[in-house]
A and B are shown apart, each in its own frame.
Chain A
Amino acid sequence: MSQGVSAIARDIDDPYDGLVLPEEDGLFARDIDGQLVRMDKVTAADFDKQITITIDGRAVTVPKAVPLTDSQGKILRDSEGRLIPRATTIFDAATKAYADEPDGNPIPILCHQEHLEPAGVCRVCCVEIAKVKRGSMQRERKLLPACHHRVEETMEVQTIRSPDLAARRRVDANVRTLVNLLAADHLPADWHDHLPSNELGRLTKRLDALAVEARDLERQAEEAAHSGQPIDEAGIEAKWPLTGNQPFAARGLERGQDHSSPRIDVDHDQCILCDRCVRACTDVKQNFVIGRSDKGYATHVAFDLDDPMGTSSCVSCGECMISCPTGALVFKGIVAEALATEGEERLTADELATYPIFASVPPKFLAWNGGAVTRRRFAPGDVICREGEYASTAFLIVRGRVGVSIGGERADGRGSGGLKAFVRTATRWLQGGRAGGASTGVERRSTVHIDGGRSLVLEGGRWVDEMTSEDVIFGEMSCLNHYPRSATVVALEPTELLEIHKNVLHMLQRNEASRRILDEAYRGRSLARELRQLSMFQGLSEADRSRCAEMLRDRAEIVRVDRGQPIFHQGDVADDFFKVRLGFVKVSQRLGDQDRTIDYLGPGRSFGEIGLVTALVDFGESLSAAGASRARRTATCTALDDVELVRIRGGDFRALIREFPAARDHLVAEAQRLLDRDRDRSSQADKNLEGFLENGLYSAQKLLVLDLESCTRCDECTRACSDTHDGITRLIREGLRFENFLVASSCRSCLDPYCLVGCPVDAIHRKPRENHPGAVEIVIENHCIGCGLCSTNCPYGNISMHTESRSGEADRRLATTCDLCRDLVGPNDDPSCVYACPHDAAFRMSGQDLLKIVATRRGAQA
C-alpha cells in the first residue's frame, strides 16, 4: 500500500495525466460548435399530431411539431433531405391563440426571438403549467419558460394576464422580480429616451400597465364578493406593485464600454446576457465571433478571445446590434442613407413603428438603415415602377389605387430600353373599374382620361389588375428573384406608398406574422395571375381561366428547396405539379446506368405535368405508348440553387380537371410534347450541359470569356481593369475552363445572383442606368459596411473584400465587384477588359451564348 500511496502522490500533481488526446480529425470534424441538431425527441410523425392546450382559459390547437426553419423561415432538412421536427412551444401556441388580439401574445419575452433557437435564460416568459398526471390535473411546482417548454396534451397554462387572479399573481410576482433585477443592473437612467428600442424598458412599462389592470380587476372582484364594504386599496396596491419603484440596489460591478468598433458601440453594463447577439452572430450569420466570457455575475459577452470588438474578427454586419434588446449594442452612424435620393421623405423608426407590419422589425434596424424606407406620393397617371426595370425595392400601399400593366416584353438592355421604353410603358395604360371586375385581362386599346387634362393611351399592352391598400404590397418579387419588374404600375388615384428596400423586406420575412401577410398578398394577386397564365389553361375561356386560378390559389403551397436537394426522383409516384417561383431546377433522366441532364427550368416554368396526366386513368394510354410509366415521374428534378416552388397537390389537380374538362386536351398535348422533347434531348444530350449547370453558367449574363485559342496571357485585360478602378482590379485571369474558353473570375451579372441575398443595408443590387433601366450589372454602393456577406455568398469568388484607406479617415473594409465599367462606358459598349484586349480574345457574353458557341465550334470541328 505504501508504494501505492507514493505513486499516487506523484500522480496527483497532474490529474489530467494519462489522458490520451484522440486523433485530430475525429475531434472537430463532427461539427464546429459541438452543437447537436436534434434537441429533443419530436419526430416527423408529430407534424400531423394536433395538441390542444389552454392558455389563460383559451383553447388553442397546434401541431405537436413543426419543421425546423432558418432565421428567414426557410425550412431546413437533415443530410438525408428529411424535414427536421421542432417541438411546438407554449410560446408558439400563445402566438397563435392571440394572433387576432390587439395586444397579441400575452407572454413577455426578452431573450427569445422567433427566428432564434430558444435559450431560456432570461426567464421572463415563465408561466404556470398544470397538466393531467396520474389521472388528475396537477400544477407544476416551478414556473417554466414558455419559449422552451413544449406543448403537451391536457396542458393548462397561466400567464401574467390570466383571468384567474390568484394564478396571475403567482406568475406576475416572480416575473416582476426578474424584471426588477434586470432593471436594477442594466437599465440606464435615460432609458425613457430610448424607447422603443430598449425592450427591457418597454417590458417594465408593460408590467406597470398590467399591475394597474390587475388592481382594477381586483377591485371589481372585491366589490362583487363584499358589495358595499370599503375596498382595501393598500392591500391591492401591495399585491400588485409597480416596477418603477425600483427595490433593488443598482449594479455593483462596472463591466465597461467598448468603443473600438468603427460601426458598433458596446455598453456591457446594459447587457442583460440574453445571448441574442451570440445566436445572431453564430446561428444567423455564421460569423462565429461572439460568446460568453467569465462566469456568474461577472459574465459578459466577448468577441473572440475577449478582444476589443474593433480588433476582433467581427465583420460589423450589424446583426448582433439589431438583435440586441437593450442599449448594449448600438450603431455608431446611420448607414444606407444614400438609398433615399435627395428630396425623398425618409421615415424614422418611430414613424414606422406606427405601421403594424413593421412591428416585427427591430427599431434599431430601421433607425440604422436611415434611407431604406421612404414615403412616396403619386398623382393619378404617375408611373410608380416600370416593367423591365431592375430594382431592389417593394411598395407598401398606404392609400390610393394603382393599376398594373404587363406589356409582355422585358427591358433587357437590347432594344427597348431608354426613354422610348418609358414613354411606351407609361402610355400603355387603360383604366378599369375594380367594382365590376369583368374587364380583367381584356386587351383593349383606348384612351384614358385622367385629372388635369392628361390622358394615357394603351398600345398593345394588357391591363391586368389594380390594387389598393388591401393588397398590402407589390414589387416584392423583384427583391426576391432579382428579375426585372414584371409589370408597370401607375397611380390611378392620388396614392401614398412606402417604398422599402430589399433589406427591410428581408427583415419582414424573419417573422411569421409578416411572412403570412406577404404570403397572403402574393396568393391574393401574383399567384392567381401566374396560375392564370399556365399553359394548360390556354384552351379555356378567360372566365374559366380565372376560375381555375381562383380555385387553385388557396390550395397551392409554396415550397422551398435547398440547393442540390432533389424535388423528386425519376420513378417516384407522381402526385404534385410544380411551378418555379424562384431559382432554377435541373431536369435529368437515367438512361441505362447513366444520368443525363436534359434541361433546366427557371422562374415561371412549370413541371411535373407528365406524371400527373398519366395518373388520370383515361389519359394514360397514348402517353404510355410514348414511354411514360403510369403515375411515375419520368425524370429527376433537382434544385440548382435555392428554389421556391408553387406546389399543386395531385388531388386538387384532378378535381380541377374534372371541373374543367377543356383543360384536359391541352394538358395531354402538352405532356406529349414534353415527352417527345425530352426523348430527343435525352438521346442527343449535350455533354456540356452538366458542366454548364454545375458551374452556374445558366444564370450568367455577362461572363468574361477569354478565347484560349487567341489569348496570349498578356494580362492587358487585368491591367485595364485595375487602371479603370483606382488600382483595384475586379477580375482575375484565372477560373473555370469551358472547352477552349476560360471563364475568368469576374462578376457574371447572374440572372439570379446569390450575392444580393441578405445584404443588411441593401448596398449591393442592380440599378437602372440612365436611359437603360434594364442594366444587368451588379453595383456595390458606397454605403457598403464591409461585412463580406456578398463575398461569402458568391459561389464563384467574384466579389473581393479590400480595405480602403483615406487620409484623415479610419480604414474601411469594402466589397468590390465588376460593374461592367458602368460609369465609364455606354450601356452597349465594351467594358475596359474587353476593349483593352489586343488579340480580340476577350468577350462578355451570357452562359447560354457560350454554350452555343462551344457547340457550334465542336460541330465545325466534327
Chain B
Amino acid sequence: MIVQELHHIQKRHRYLPADELRRLAERTGTPLYRLQEVASFFPHFHLEPPPAVEVLVCHDMACHLRGCAGAKAAFEHGMAAEIATGKVAVRYASCLGRCDRPVAASVNDRFFAARSADELVSLTRDALADRLPAADLDSSYAFHANRPWRIDPYDAAGTYDAVRNFAAGPDRQRVIDELKASDLRGMGGAGVPAHQKWNDVWKAKGDEKYIVCNADESEPGTFKDRELLTRHPWLVLEGVILAGLLTGATRGWIYIRHEYAEQIAIMNAEIRRAESLGACGSRIAGSTMSFPVEVFPSPGGYICGEQSALIEAMEDRRAQPRNKPPQLETNGLYDKPTLVSNVETFAWAPAIVLRGGQWYADSGVNGCKGSRIFSISGDVIRPGVYELPNGTTLRELLHDLCGGTPRPLKAFAPSGPSGGFLPAQVPVTALPRGWEKRAPADLVEKVKASGGTHLDILDLQLDLQRFRDLGLAIGAGLVVYDDSRDMAAEAVNCSQFFRDESCGKCVPCRIGSQKIVEIGEELLANRLNTAALAVREPLVNELTRAMEMTSICGLGMVAAKPFQSAIQFFRDDVSRHLNGNSAGHAKGDSR
C-alpha cells in the first residue's frame, strides 16, 4: 500500500518530503529505493514543494487543435508576476479526458473545461485567495449524444437485475454462452472476445481471483468511459459483479484515473448504493455469494491503461508493463488469476445477460455484429459520445450525428493518436495486399466507382474487424481534422504525448519515442531540408517498424505511427516545413 501511504503524506504536506519518506521506509521496512521508484514515476506525486497554485493545461489532440499553446501563453502573460515569484506555476499535462470541451485545464487538481485563458487567470486568483470555485462537473454538462443508449437496460438508476437473477440460480455456462453469442469484444483496444477472458479466469485455478475494471481512460480523444461512469455507473458495477460471481473471484476493483475525481466519487456512491440494495458486498441478493468492490484511484499516467502496467501500479510498483507470458488471466494481481477489462466491456454485460447475446450481436449493421460507444472530438460540430451499431459508416456518424465538420475534412485519427492519421482519401496503395478480397463488396465498388485509386474514409465502416481487414486500427477515440490543419504539427503533438507517457522500461520505446519527437521538432523548427528529410524518412520507417516489432507493450508499438503516417500521407504539410537552404543539417549534426 505504498501508493496510499504516499498519498496520505502528500495530503499532509502537499508534496513528499524526504524526511517523511525515510520515516515511512523505517516504519514499514520498505527500502528507500522502492519508495523513490514509485514516488518519482507517477505524475500525481510531487517530490518538491509545489507552488501555491499549480495550473495544468491539457496538451493533446483536441486541446491542441483548440489552441492550448495560445491559452497557456496568455495565461503566462496574465499571471506573469505570480509566476515570476514562484507562487504560480503552469505546465502542460497529458490528456485530461475532456476532449469534448477543449481546452481542459486543472487548477490545484480541480478540473475545468472549455475555459478561456482569462477565466483560468481568474480561477487562479481565486485559488490564491483560497476561494477556488467547484470544478466543472461532467455530470452537469449536457454533452452531445444519441440517447437513449441500448447499453442501459434500465429506465432509471440500475436495479441490478442481472446480478439478482444470477445469484438466484447461478448458471455460469449460460452467461459464457450468451457472451459468446454476442461476440462482445474487449473495448480497451485489443478486442479480445469477452467470453474468452471470463472463461479463462473462471477455469483458472486459484484460491483467490480478482476482477479489475480498467477505467484509466487516458488516451487523447477518448472519453466515453467517463460518460459511462458518470451517467451509467450501475452498468459498470453490475458488469464487474457479474464477472466476479461468475469467475468465483474474491475481490473487485474499479481502477479510475485520478483526474476523474468526480467519477471516483460517483462510483464510490454507486458501490454504497449497490450494497444497500444487496447487489454488492456480502450475501448478494440473499445468496451465499459475496463479492466486495472498491474504487482504486490511479496515481496517474496513460501507461496505467496498459493492463499489466495497471496491475503493477496496484501492486505498488512503477506502472511498467510486464513481459508476457504469463497472462493476467492466470498470473495477474498478486500472481492470482485476474480479469482486467475495459469499463465499456463490463457495462455491456448486464444488457447482454438480460436480453441475450443474440440481441447484442444483431444490433450491428452492414454485416457487422454488436454495438460500440465512440467518443468523437476535434474539428466536428457536435463532439461527444455516441453509441453506434458496429458497421456504421464514418459518414453517418460525422454528418448525420455530429453535424459535420466546420471546414472540409482533411484527416481522421481512428484511434486517438495510436492509429496514426488517415487522409480523407486513402490511396489504395497504402492498403495491404488483397484488401479487396476482405473488404465488403460495396466498399470495393465505391472505390472502383471513384476511379479505383483512393478510398473515401467517410465510407469506412466503424468496426474492429472491418478496420483490421484494411490493415487499420480503430479505437474508441475518433479525432477529426479539417483542411485548416497542419498534420505535421499534429503528428509531432501526438509523438510528444507518447514520449511523455512512455514508462521508459524498454529501449525501443524509451529512446525511440524521443528520437521521433526530435526529428519532428527539427522539422517544425524548419531545420531540415530536402536532403536531410531524405535521410530521416527511411530512419523513421525503420524506427516505426522496430518499435512495433520489439516494444513490450502497445504504447511503444504505436508511438512512432502518427509521425510516420504524416510523412506517408501528408507530404505537403511536411514539405512546407523544409527550409530551402540546401546546406541544411546533416544527420547526427547535434553530436
Contact = CB atoms under 8 A, between A and B. Distances in A.
B444 to A, nearest CB: 26
Interface residues of B, number: 88
Contact of B264 (A12, A178, A293): A12
Interface string B4-31: 1101100100000010011000011111
Nearest to B38: A291
B550 A178 contact: yes
B547 to A, nearest CB: 8
Interface of A: 4-9, 11-16, 18-19, 21-22, 24, 27-28, 32-34, 36, 38-41, 118, 120-124, 126, 142-143, 145, 148, 150, 173-175, 177-178, 181-182, 184-185, 246-250, 252-253, 272-273, 282, 288-299, 302-306, 312-313
Given A173-B545, A249-B590, A293-B36, A288 B264 contact: no
B247 interface: no
Contact of A15 (B21, B264, B315, B503): B264
Contact of B513 (A248, A253, A296): A296
B139 interface: yes
A39 B549 contact: no
Interface in B24-72: 27-37, 40-41
Given A8-B137, A38-B335, A288-B33, A296 B318 contact: no
Contacts of B323: 118, 120, 145, 148
A9 B36 contact: no
Contact of A174 (B27, B36, B261, B550): B550
B552 to A, nearest CB: 7
Contacts of B316: 34
A272 B510 CA distance: 10
Given A288-B31, A296-B500, 9 more contacts: A7-B269, A8-B266, A21-B1, A21-B5, A122-B507, A143-B550, A248-B515, A305-B36, A313-B32
A178 B545 CA distance: 11
Given A41-B331, A143-B550, A249-B518, A305 B269 contact: no
A32 B546 CA distance: 36
A12 B265 contact: yes
Contact of A11 (B11, B139, B268, B515): B268
Contacts, number: 235
Contacts of A36: 334-335
A276 to B, nearest CB: 13
Given A28-B29, A185-B511, A303-B33, A294 B40 contact: yes
Nearest to B591: A250
B190 to A, nearest CB: 13
A538 B500 CA distance: 75
A124 B508 CA distance: 10
Nearest to A295: B41
Contact of A40 (B325, B519, B548, B588): B325
A4 B505 CA distance: 42
B275 to A, nearest CB: 13
Contacts of B140: 5
B142 interface: no
Contacts of A143: 549-550
B109 interface: yes
Contacts of A289: 31-33
User: Which are the 3 A-B pairs with shortest beta-carbon distances?
Assistant: A291-B33, A12-B261, A299-B504
B227 to A, nearest CB: 15
B157 to A, nearest CB: 10
B458 interface: no
A14 B297 CA distance: 10
Contact of A34 (B29, B265, B315, B518): B315
Contact of B265 (A11, A33, A120, A175): A11
Nearest to A238: B538
A296 B320 CA distance: 10
Contacts of B504: 273, 292, 294-299
Q: Which of A19, A247, A290, A295 has the most CB of B within 10 A?
A: A295
A121 B269 contact: no
A684 to B, nearest CB: 46
Given A174-B545, A293-B37, A304 B507 contact: no
Given A249-B518, A273-B504, A302 B36 contact: yes
Contact of A250 (B258, B297, B588): B588
Contact of A126 (B34, B110, B549): B549
10 contacts: A14-B261, A28-B28, A38-B335, A41-B330, A142-B549, A142-B557, A173-B546, A174-B546, A273-B507, A273-B510
Contacts of B297: 15-16, 19
A34 B318 CA distance: 12
Contact of A181 (B511, B590, B591): B511
B502 interface: yes
A294 B266 CA distance: 32
Contacts of A291: 31, 33-34, 36-37
Nearest to A291: B33
A38 B334 CA distance: 10
A297 B514 contact: yes
B587 interface: yes
Given A13-B261, A296-B510, A40 B326 contact: yes
B546 A177 contact: yes
Interface in B248-306: 256, 258, 260-262, 264-266, 268-269, 295, 297, 301
Nearest to B258: A15
A33 B519 CA distance: 39
Contacts of A174: 545-546, 549-550
Interface string B101-127: 000000001100000000000000000
A689 to B, nearest CB: 36
Contacts of A252: 514, 518, 590
Given A9-B135, A11-B265, A178-B546, A39 B11 contact: no
B36 to A, nearest CB: 5
A526 B110 CA distance: 74
Contacts of A253: 514
B139 A8 contact: yes
B324 to A, nearest CB: 9
Contacts of B500: 296
B484 to A, nearest CB: 31
Contacts of B33: 282, 288-291, 302-305
Given A16-B7, A173-B546, A248-B515, A123 B590 contact: no
Contact of A248 (B301, B330, B539, B549): B539
B549 to A, nearest CB: 5
Contacts of A246: 588, 591
B507 A178 contact: yes
Contacts of B512: 181
A248 B511 CA distance: 10
Contacts of B398: none
Q: Kindly name the residue among B1, B31, B508 whose own CB sees the greatest number of chain A CB atoms within 10 A.
A: B31
B410 interface: no
Contact of A173 (B330, B335, B542): B542
A289 B35 CA distance: 11
Contacts of A184: 511, 515
A12 B139 CA distance: 12
Contacts of B262: 8-9, 12
Contacts of A247: 535, 539, 587-588
B507 A181 contact: yes
B325 A150 contact: yes
A6 B239 CA distance: 27
Contact of A123 (B28, B32, B331, B508): B508
Interface in B537-589: 539, 542-543, 545-546, 548-552, 557, 587-589
Contacts of A4: 269
Contacts of A250: 588, 590-591
Interface string B339-362: 000000000000000000000000
A122 B506 CA distance: 6
Given A16-B11, A291-B34, A296 B502 contact: yes
